[in-house]
Every structure is written in C-alpha cells, then in structure tokens.
Structure 1
Amino acid sequence: MKTLISPFSEEQLENIKNLINPLNEIQLAWISGYLAGRSQLPLPQQNGKAAEVPVADQVNHKLTILYGSRTGNGKGLAKMTEKMAADIGLPVEVKSMEDYQPKELVNEKYLLIIVSTHGDGVPPFQAKVVYDHLHGKRAQRLDETQYAVLALGDSSYFHFCKTGKDFDSKLEALGAKRIREILCCDVDYKQSDEVWIQETLADFKRLTGSGNAETTVKPAGVKTEKSVRFTKQKPYAAQVFEKINLHGRGSERATLHIELQADVAGLSYEPGDSAGIIPVNAKELITELLQVTALNPDETIEINGIKRKLEEALYRDLELSKITPDVIKRYLEQFPDNKLEAVYKDQQALQTYIYGRDIVDLLTDYPVKLTAAQLVSILKPLQPRYYSIASSPNAYPGEIHLTVALVDYEQGGRNKRGTCTGFLSDVLEEDEHVPVFIESNPNFRLPANPATPIIMIGAGTGVAPYRAFVQERALNPGSGKSWLFFGNRHFETEFLYQTEWQQHLKSGALTRMDVAFSRDGEKPVYVQHRLLEQAGDIYQWIQNGAYIYICGDMKKMAVDVQNALSTILSQEGGYNADEAQEYLNRMQQEKRLQLDVY
C-alpha cells in the first residue's frame, strides 16, 4: 500500500491495512457500503467554496433493473436487489424484459441486467426481444449508459451463463461503460453472490449521487414469497399415491404417470408450474465409483461444514451421472494431464467427450490416485430435476401429478439411466416419500379470460401441462375453445392419456385434437407438419385472439414449431419473413405465445 499515491500518511495507511486484513467478505462489504454512504456527505469547504465531487453526477438518476428469466428466479432476485437498493437510498425501477421496449435502452443512464440462460446457451423467451434488438441492425449506441450484468445459469451446461455474457459484451460493444465485471451465478446461490450485489449497488449509488445519509447495504437473502414455502433447500416429503407406466405392451420405452400427496399449504401451485424432485444416486453407480477409486465408503468427509460418510455423500449430495466443463477444469487443476488438457481446450472435442459420460468414465479414461476429499472437491452438488405438473389443483385437490419419461442409454459399454428417472422408476415405490417443492412458472399460464381460445402444442411428455390446462377448463362451463396438437413415436403404445383426451373431446372441454406419430408411417410426421396441414384454421384462431403454447424439446421441436407458425403467418396473412417474426415477437410480449421448453 505504501507505493500508492494517496492522501494518507504512512501511519494511516498502516492502520487501514491492519484494520481490513482480518475482515471477511461480509465485513468488507459492510465497510464498502459505509464508505460509499460517507462519500455522499457534503465535502468540507475549501476557501469558502464547496469541493467538487469528481465521480458522482451532480444530478440524481435512478437505476433501472431489467430482468429476464423463464421461471420466477430472475424476478425474485430483481425484487431482492430492489429492496437492498432501497435500504441505501438508491432509487430504482424494476422492469421485466417481456414488457420492455428495447428502444428505451438509449434512455437508460444506469442499468443492471439480471438474465438467465435457458438450457445450453439460449436466451429465455422472456428476454428474446431485448436480446435480439441488441444484436440486430437497429441497436442504438449506448455511450451514456453505465451498466453491470448478473447472469443466472447452470454450469452443468456447456455454455454456462451465455446469455448474460452476450448481454455484457454487446452492451460494451455499443459503447456502454461496464462498472463491474459480470457475475455468473450457478444454480446454487452463494453468499458471495449477494456481496457482489451489495458492492454493485454501492457503485451505482456513488455514480448517481443519490442521497446524503450514512447508509449500508443489508444482506437480504433470496426470498420471493411472503408465506413459508417448501424449497429445494427445505423440500416436502410427499407420499407416492400411484405410479403407472403409460406405455402399452411391447413399447421399447417407458413414461411414468406419478401421483403425489400435496395437501399442505407450502405446495400450492397453478396449472403451468413445475415440480422439483430431489433424487438420490443409483447404488450401482456408487459401487462402480468406489471400485474405480478404491476409496473407503466409511471414510468421513465434510461438505458445507457437515460431516458424513463418503458413501452417504455420494448417495445424496453429489452429482455423479454427468460431468461438466467445470468438473473437467477442477480435475485438471489437481491432476494435470496433457491429453485431457487438449480435450478441454478444444470446445467441440470437450462437448463431444462430456456428452453422456459420468464421473466413472472420467476416472476410467484418465485414471489417477485421489483421496475422498479430492473427489468431493471435483464433483458438483446434486441438483433437483424439474417436471411440468400434469394436474389441475382444482381437479385434484391435494395432489401433484407428473409425467416422466425414463432416460436409458448405452455409452462406452455401460448401460446408464437418468439420475432422477432411475430414482423414480427403480427406487421409489408407492406409499414411499419423495422430496418435492414447487417451481413457479408465471410465464406459462392460461389466459386470464377463460373464454379465450387456446392452441396447445407438445410432443412426448410435453403434453403434461396441457393435461392440467384442460382439466382446469373442464371445470369452467364458460371456457373457450381448446385445440391440442400432440406428437410421439407410436400410436399403439405411446399415445399418452389417450382415454382422457377422448373423454374431453366428448364433453367439449377439448374442441379439437390433431396427432402425429413419427414412426408409424413411411415418412416421419411431426407436430409441425400437422400445424401446416391446418394452416387456414390456425391463422383464423390467431386472428380471433387465441393463445398458443409450446412445450417440449427446445433444440428441435420448439424451433420447428415456431418456423411452422411463421410459415402460416406468411402463407395465410401475407407477411414476409421479418414481419412474421415480428408478429410472433409481439404475441410473445402480449403473452399470447408462451413456451415451456427444455
């Protein structure tokens, strides 16, 4: 510190150093907030004149917090940040990207972006309009904007927090000034993430010149609901009422229908929401891992300050069935290997290698002698798996229904099964209990006016939320028309909930249904083909105000369906390609086009 040019004496610098060295992150954040507040006090007069403030604007400005995420996590974090800003006297305005006009960006002087990445590097549809505008030809220069980006993501995906990183780099390219390096939050929110928010708000407060009181940022904690709810940290142990295979005899695959007990207030939900299931790892996989590492299953290890036996930690706490770039990175940090390093540095090679492989594969392909503590430090925490709820709470009070496709595959000479689908299929029996919580999805909701017509498009288990939608509408005699497009492989064995759909068609709760079974004919037929066959009627429904829902595979089905909708708009409405895309974007902003894709 002695080498810095500063207004402090040597003794003062030494005192400062002695004060801050022992402090932890939270204490440092407190000091940072305190000093930021002090910096807003009027400075001592010099020669009868007030000293100039070199860094803060002389006019107050608000901070705009702009969020975009598929679930309620981004909104919850934005609201938490709003409260933290209020605690230090920083005026803010929170806006959803769904309801935001991108051309207004040029008027934002101070901007905090909170955005998630959907799947493997795709912007959530709630942020797509703003994202596309920034990356399009009409994006304005943002030379007067100062910004920071908080990115939400899941490091188990290859392109971790890509959407946030894209926002960050594009804002800079358009002339905006970054005030703090981007924060990339993994699925597990950490205390250090909150420290970043505290410090960033203090930076914005200093820049805006807001307030003149001594204020500090108070840790808020992530709370999105006033009432107590079950969460992934504190799930509810729900009893399994029923578990059946929906596929007919002779099917090579299986899809489970699971009914869970949910007659507690903390598990209330709406049609369109998802259930988070907390699984355990397969004991067969744990046995393989212990064999390849030659570790003692009874050895005591520590995770997040809690001591337990290694075998128990492998069963309940750690992700074993998939490896990520972050796992490879930590592996290389402890066990350098030239061949694995070459794979890690080649994006395509890395993506190919990690696909379908687990920790046993990694240790077999690149064997090392490691300790239990080293193994634990390499692995990621075991995460919940999410499933669209396939029931209406009004049709089935106190119950949650799930539609779960079993994941089975062979890789590297080993038969593998998905962690959670294996748990639900092989481990969990009727009358046993499963840890569950509700993941709200406010961006996949029935229209507020039940008379509004709806078009539901899904393949495979993507039909699950539509079962809830139609059940809900069946209870309301004034409901509008409903049209379901459903696709799967085979009519005989994979027509999920066939009898129920036929009953709803008979009662009028479901107006129309078109199906596509891709493996039954000479040529594959998918839901997008059925959409194009009904182009005229679909366009008329859209003109009559219909809401359109898409649920299922993100990479293929959802893209093909949106392309089909664009074709229908061009064919039936006379729009060119750009106009058709703009029409769909507008429908999305109006919540008339909603997606739940994965």
Structure 2
Amino acid sequence: MSAPAALPALPFPQETADALFRLTQGLEPAGLWWLSGYAAGLASRGAAASAPGAAPRAEAAEGARLTILYGSQTGNARRAAEALLAQVQAAGLPARLVRADAYATRELAGERLLYVVISTQGEGDPPDDAIGFVEFLQGRRAPKLPELRYAVLGLGDTSYADFCGIARRIDARLAELGAQRVAEPALADLDIDTVAAPWRESALAQAREHLKPAASPAAHVATVTPLRPAASWSHERPFPAEVLANQGLSGREFRGTGFRRYGVVDKDVRHLELSLEGSALAYEPGDALGIRHRNPEALVAPVLEAARLDGDARVELEGETLPLSEWLATRRELTRLSRPTLAALAERSGADELRRLLEPTSPDFAALLADHQLVDVLRRWPADWDAQALLAALRPQAQRLYSIASSRKRVGEEAHLTLDVVAYHAHGHPHLGAASGFLSALDEGAQVPVYIEPNERFRVPADGARDIIMIGPGTGVAPFRGFVQERAETGAGGRNWLFFGARHFNTGFLYQVEWQDALQRKELHRLDLAFSRDQERKVYVQDRLREQGRDLYDWLEGGAHLYVCGAIAMGKDVHAALLDIVARQRGGDADAATEYLGRLQAEGRYARDVY
C-alpha cells in the first residue's frame, strides 16, 4: 500500500493528510471502524459547541448518562472499562469514560448511574490514578448518594491475601452513602474476561433500563479521558520483537556494547535491547513493554515430577489439544499461587494444615503466598492428580510488564529493558522467575512477543524548562534512563536529579558509566547514591532524601516534577520520607504535608510507578 500523491478537495492541509495516512497505515478493519467513530464523535461535539446557544454536552446530559470511572495500574482495568464503553455506545446509550484522577469529585452528588472499574495494587491499595478519588470517597466530604445507582468491577490477583480489596471497599462505601447497587460487585482474577464479560452484559442490561438512547449516533462518544486508537499490535496480538542484545549489568559498567568486570556479582541484572522495526509501535519514556513469556523448562519439569504426570500426554481443554508440558509452559501460572489453586490442592490432598491456612482468619496465609511457588506446595502436600484436574486448578498465565529504559529519540526503533533475574534457593530447591528466567536466557536473534502498555501518568513534563527529581533504586531506575535520554534529545532546559540505590556499589551500580557521562555532559545535574550494605549502618534512598530535604523541597517549590519507580514497599518508605521532609519544611504540620503531596499528585507533579 502506498500513500496517494494527492487527494481531491482536501478539507485540511496536505501535511495533515500525510499524517493521517501514517496513522492509519497497518490498522485492521476494527481499528479503522473505531477511528472513524471516534472522529465522528469529535466532529459532532465540535458542531454542537459552535451552535448558537448550545449548552456543553456534559452539562446537557447530566443525570441522564452513564459515567464509567476507572482506576488502573497496569492497563487491565482501563481496557475493561473501554470494552464496557464500546458496548454501551454500540447500544446507543449516553456514556462517558473517566480516569479516576481526571474525575471532578464535586460531580459525584449529581451522578445517577455510575460504574466503577478498578484494580487493586499490592495488598489492598488503590492504583495511583485512583488514590485521590478513594481518599475523597472514604473521607468526611463524600456526599450522601440516595439517588445513585452503581456497580463495581474489581480486578485483582488471588496471589495476594486482600483480593480486590479496593473494589470491595468502594462498593461498601457507596452503599453506606445511600447508593443502590444494580449488581453485586464482580471480582476478577487474572483470567479477567471470565468474570468481566458476563458482568459487562449485566451492566449493559441495567444501563438500558435506566437510560434513554442518545439523541444521535455520535452523541455517545463523549469522553473525559481520551480513548486510545486501536493498534495493529496489542495485548491480544503482540509483535515478535528480535533480541538485539542481552547483556549483564551486575558487577559491570555499561557503555553501549562494552563491559568491564568490576567485582563479584551478587545479582543477575540484564540489559536487553529489542527491535521494534516494522511494527509501527510507538512509546514514550515512562511506558511499559508487555511480554508474553514462555515458562522455562526449569519450572515445568519439577511441576510435572511433583504431580507425577507425563508431560507428553495430550490434553484437550478450552477447545485446544496440546501436550501437558506445553500447557504448563505457555498457558498456566507456575510461580504465583492463588487461593483457588490452594483450595483445589487442599481438597485433593486432604491436608488439614493447608485447610487451616486457607481460613479467612489465618495470619499465615499471606506468608504462604509470598514464600511458595506451585512446585513447593505440590511437594509439601502430595496428591493424586490427573492432567485435566491440574490444569483446571491453575490460573491462566499472566503477561508481565517491564518499564522501558530508553527514548525512541535516541535509540530509534528499539526498546531497552532493565531486568532483574529472579533466582534463589528455598525449601531445599532452586527457584527461578518465570518471565525473567525466560528473558535472561534469550540469545541475540531470538524473538519475543511484545506490546506497548502506555502509562500516561508517568511522563516527562511537557514544559522542558521544569526540573525533575527521579527516585529509582535497583531496576526502578529503568524509566529514568529513558527520561534523561528524552530530555537531552529534546534540549529540555530543566535540571535532572536522580536518587539511585542498591546493595553494593561494586555490583549494583546499574548504568554507572552512563550516569557519570551524563553528569559530565550536563544531561544529569545531580546524583545521590545509597548503597545499603557497603557500611555497617544500612542506607537507603529514603535516607538520602531526608539528607537533601531542604534542597528537594526548594526544587518542588520551584515547580519540579517528582517521580518514584520500584517496589511497592520502597514506594511507601519514600512517600513517608517525603511527608517528613515537607512537614519539617512547613513547621512540623503533618496534615499540611499530606495535603501538599496530594496537591502535587492532583497536578501531575508527583507520579509513581510501583509494583
């Protein structure tokens, strides 16, 4: 397919036509139909806005529309909310889609039909984009809602003890405020659609009962959070990216393709470079790369042995027939446990100890989930399994997300990753991470199925004159490598300050030479380091933050943007340190510090990517 040389009677400049061609090239029919509907909706809203005496559509539809509110950490809740919106729009009903941090909470009292789609982050926390909404809803300012009808779809992970905790608390709080459920809360595990699809059908039926059809086919396209154009490569259809480089970072200094031995390696951290050539995939620094991995043989073989099953046995399930080993390698979770899996094991093994651990009041259940892989519990509580029963007990394989460690403006059609390989010894046996074990073993030239997972809340400032403060210990530094590259390539005038931490300087200082070079070139302006095990007293990034508290607060007061990336526990420790710093600078007022950081989050100047 080639671009037309000219189009007759264009209603816009030729440059716009060329850009439109680039946008639509490679889109499948579904994507083109979606794009045409989206454009029609924009045109309709524009016409309505310019009509004499026309009221804004959002106000005209107040009380007679469905609001779909979503909070998403990794994109799953957003996709589920978009799928619901598409069904509602297809039915001709007035609706809007709103990300939680873009929702004006003053509008809640006027809502008549509200569907909430929200994920739970870690042990019962809201996703970052829903923190403000959840705090408002749980606070004293939340209004009474006797005229509101609502439904909640929760997305979670039964490998955590507080499964879908946020969704359950939102549902209970809305009921406490006087709102009426139109459906019981639906709580989805990793196999999202088995719960989400029937919930959407029920939610649509309820919407039909409570709403009148939109006045015109285009009137239902209004959204507060813009929909993303359909991509030819996606979560459902990943792109086969070629591995260009797979190099060790632990104990080495990194510069392009050259490394120097710099000590004894205590962790295996890898730098991967993947080609996106020919995919038309586009990302921004802060986005993540989704990976569809294959469980390594080192995970599959022990599970087969512990279950006493033949990996070559062919099993028909879900309309497919595959060898059992292939089911385990490509379709099932082998490293993350869940309550349903453990319940099936308890029933099959008859183990009273496991039954006690599964009781809701058990204090040891969370520790079991955190400390055991599938093979550990199969060994600990032996049972007679058949292939069908084992596969039915296991969760579908979840795709993994990795923060992209590069800027396209510097690396072109590539995406770089910083990968910490999970490998440890426990319960008398070696253990390996599923996706990290898969990726670390790939040779150059191998292919990896990938897709882009946008993270609109984790972006460099649009104003290049703004300073940025980046806090990223360990592999949490990955997106900030992309941030610094992006800011250098665009000539951003603001300063860049990085806080980095690891266990040891010799073996954990990731991208050491790159950071030193960036300091010399004034692409990085400040670098504070914390190596926790290199001295008797452990020092972490939050300690360095407190040491530099006065300067950090001055940067924030000057308009700096603040970013945190890394483990959930680290994110909580850093947040506590930030509260201490702000409170100290504001006369010891803890409430003022909480309000200050909340305002930064609402302004998009305090963003976190924690996992």
TM range, normalised to the smaller chain? 0.7 to 0.9
- Kindly indicate whether residue 159 of structure 2 is the aligned counterpart of residue 146 of structure 1: no
1:458 pairs with one of 449, 455, 472? 472
Q: Which residue of 1 aligns with 2:199?
A: 196
Q: 2:426 aligns with which of 397, 404, 411?
A: 411
Q: Residue 488 in 1 paired to residue 502 in 2?
A: yes
Within a 5 Å distance, the mapping from 1:531-570 to structure 2 comes to: 531-555=545-569, 557-570=570-583
Contact 2:187 2:195 in 1 (8 A): no
1:528 counterpart residue number: 542
Task: Check conservation: 1:322, 1:356, Cα contact below 8 A.
Answer: no
Q: Residue 351 in 1 paired to residue 354 in 2?
A: no
Change (3 A) 1:337 1:72: closer
For the residue of structure 2 that corresponds to 1:516, the secondary structure is strand
Instruction: Name the residue aligned to 2:172.
Output: 169
- Map residues 473-484 of structure 1 onto 2, 5 A cutoff: 473-484=487-498
| Stretch of structure 1 that moved more, 411-420 or 96-105 | 96-105
Q: 1:184 aligns with which of 187, 200, 216?
A: 187
2:501/2:541 contact within 8 Å kept = yes
| Secondary structure in 2 matching 1:583 | helix
Is residue 2:594 matched to residue 1:574? no
Residues 212 and 224 (structure 1), Cα distance of their counterparts in 2 relative to 1, 3 Å cut: closer
CA–CA separation in structure 2 for the residues paired with 1:312 and 1:71: 27
Larger displacement relative to structure 2 (572-581 or 187-196): 187-196
Structure 2 CA distance, aligned partners of 1:401 and 1:357? 31
The one-letter code of the counterpart of 2:181 is R
Q: Is the 8 A contact 2:71 2:78 kept in 1?
A: yes
Structure-1 residue corresponding to 2:437: 422
CA distance in 1, matches of 2:387, 2:66: 47
Q: Residues 230 and 88 from structure 1, CA distance in 2 versus in 1: closer, same or farther, beyond 3 angstroms?
A: closer
Partners in 1 of 2:87 and 2:436 — Cα distance?
Answer: 40
Would you say the 8 A contact 1:391–1:401 is kept in 2?
A: yes
CA displacement, residues 544-597 of structure 1 (integer Å, 9 cap, x when unaligned): 111000001112x11121122222222223361112111111111111000000
> SS of 1:584's equivalent?
helix
Equivalent positions of 1:67-216 (< 5 A) are 67-190=70-193, 193-208=196-211
Which one has the largest radius of gyration? 1
CA displacement, residues 166-203 of structure 1 (integer Å, 9 cap, x when unaligned) = 11111112221111011223333326623321321321
Supply the AA of the counterpart residue of 2:319. G
Distance 2:516 2:229 in 1: 41
Report whether the alignment pairs 1:278 with 2:292. Answer: yes
TM-score by length of 2: 0.82
Provide the rounded CA distance (Å) in 2 between the counterparts of 1:493 and 1:368.
43
Task: Rate the CA distance shift 1:171–1:433 in 2: closer, same or farther, 3 A.
Answer: same
How far is the alpha carbon of 1:333 from its aligned partner?
A: 5.0
Contact (CA 8 Å) 1:391, 1:471: kept in 2 or not?
A: yes
CA distance in 2, matches of 1:94, 1:451: 32
* 1:190 partner SS: helix
For 2:281, the equivalent position in structure 1 comes to 267
8 Å CA contact retained: 1:490, 1:518 = yes
Distance 1:225 1:569, change over 3 A: closer
1:136-188, CA deviations, whole angstroms, 9 ceiling, x for partnerless residues? 23333222221111112233333222111111111112221111011223333
The CA deviation string for residues 334-385 of structure 1, in whole angstroms up to 9 with x for no partner, is 5544332221114422222232322222222221112111111111122222
Matched to 2:80, the amino acid is L
Determine the C-alpha separation between the residues in 1 that align with 2:323 and 2:416: 34
Taking structure 1 as reference, are residues 139 and 81 closer, same or farther at Cα in structure 2, changes over 3 Å only? Answer: same
Stretch of structure 1 that moved more, 274-283 or 535-544 = 274-283
Moved more, 168-177 or 137-146: 137-146
Structure-1-length-normalised TM-score: 0.84
Report whether the alignment pairs 1:361 with 2:383.
no
The reply to whether residue 242 of structure 1 matches residue 256 of structure 2 is no
SS at match of 2:425: strand
Choose the corresponding residue for 1:229, options 187, 212, 232. 232
Q: Using a 3 Å threshold, how does the CA distance of structure 1 residues 316 and 73 change in structure 2: closer, same or farther?
A: closer
Deviations 1:101-146 (CA, angstroms, capped at 9, x unpaired)? 3343222222111111112321011101111122223333222221
Deviates more, 1:574-583 or 1:143-152: 574-583
- 8 Å contact from structure 1 (residues 325, 350) kept in 2: no
User: Which AA in structure 2 matches 1:362?
Assistant: V
Structure 2 CA distance for aligned equivalents of residues 212 and 504 of structure 1? 57
| Partner residue in 2 for 1:583 | 596
State the AA in 2 paired with 1:550: V
State the AA in 1 paired with 2:201. Q
| Residue in structure 2 matched with residue 596 of structure 1 by the alignment | 609
Following the alignment from structure 2 to structure 1, what is the Cα–Cα distance between the partners of residues 589 and 601?
A: 18
Between the aligned partners of 2:89 and 2:318, the Cα distance in structure 1 is 32
Task: Answer whether contact 1:237 1:433 (CA < 8 A) is retained.
Answer: yes
Change over 3 Å in CA distance of 1:131–1:457 after alignment to 2: same
Q: 1:163 to 1:492 in 2, by over 3 A?
A: same
Q: Give the superposition deviation at 1:462.
A: 0.5
Q: Can you list the C-alpha shifts for 1:280-307, whole angstroms capped at 9, x where unaligned?
A: 2232332222223322222111232110
Q: 2-side partners of 1:366 and 1:521: how far apart?
A: 42
Distance 1:299 1:212, change over 3 A: same
Q: CA–CA distance in 2 between the matches of 1:392 and 1:492?
A: 27
Query: Take 1:408 and 1:308, find their aligned partners in 2: how far apart are those partners?
Result: 29
Alpha-carbon distance in structure 2 between the residues aligned to 1:143 and 1:253: 56
**C-alpha distance in structure 2 between counterparts of 1:87 and 1:289, whole Å:** 45
RMSD of aligned Cα (Å): 2.3
SS of residue paired to 2:573: helix
CA distance in 2, matches of 1:468, 1:541: 21
Which one of 306, 311, 318 corresponds to residue 304 of structure 1? 318
Q: CA deviation at 1:388?
A: 0.6
Instruction: For 1:392 and 1:288, locate their aligned partners in 2 and report how far apart those are by CA, in whole Å.
Output: 40
Q: Which residue of structure 1 lines up, in the alignment, with residue 304 of structure 2?
A: 290
5+ residue gaps, structure 2, are 1-61, 221-225, 252-262
Amino acid at match of 2:443: E
User: 3-state DSSP class of the match of 1:355?
Assistant: helix
Secondary structure at the aligned position of 1:257 is classed as: strand
Letter in 1 for 2:92: G
Q: What secondary structure does 1:113 align onto?
A: strand
Rounded Cα–Cα distance in structure 1 between residues aligned with 2:470 and 2:315: 49
Question: Conserved in 2, the CA contact under 8 Å of 1:61 and 1:109?
Answer: yes
Letter in 2 for 1:594: A
**Unaligned runs of at least 5 residues, structure 1:** 1-58, 218-222
State the alpha-carbon separation in 1 of the partners of residues 465 and 71 from structure 2.
29
Kindly state the Cα deviation for residue 225 of structure 1 after the two structures are TM-superposed.
4.5
Q: Is the 8 A contact 1:60 1:208 kept in 2?
A: no
Tell me whether 303-312 or 65-74 shows the greater mean CA deviation: 65-74
Q: Distance in 1 between matches of 2:268 and 2:299?
A: 21
The aligned counterpart of 1:384 is: 399
* Letter of the 1:381 counterpart: P
Judge conservation of contact 2:337–2:369 (CA < 8 Å) in 1. yes
Which whole-Å CA distance do the structure 1 matches of 2:299 and 2:71 have between them?
A: 38
| Contact 1:320–1:359 under 8 Å retained in 2 | yes
CA deviation after TM superposition for structure 1 residue 454, in Å: 0.6
Looking at structure 1, the residues matched to 78 and 452 of structure 2 have their Cα atoms a distance apart, in angstroms, of 16
For the 8 Å contact 2:283–2:454, the answer to whether it is kept is yes
| Structure 1, 367-376 or 286-295: larger mean CA deviation | 286-295
1:299–1:542 distance in 2 versus 1, CA, 3 Å:
same
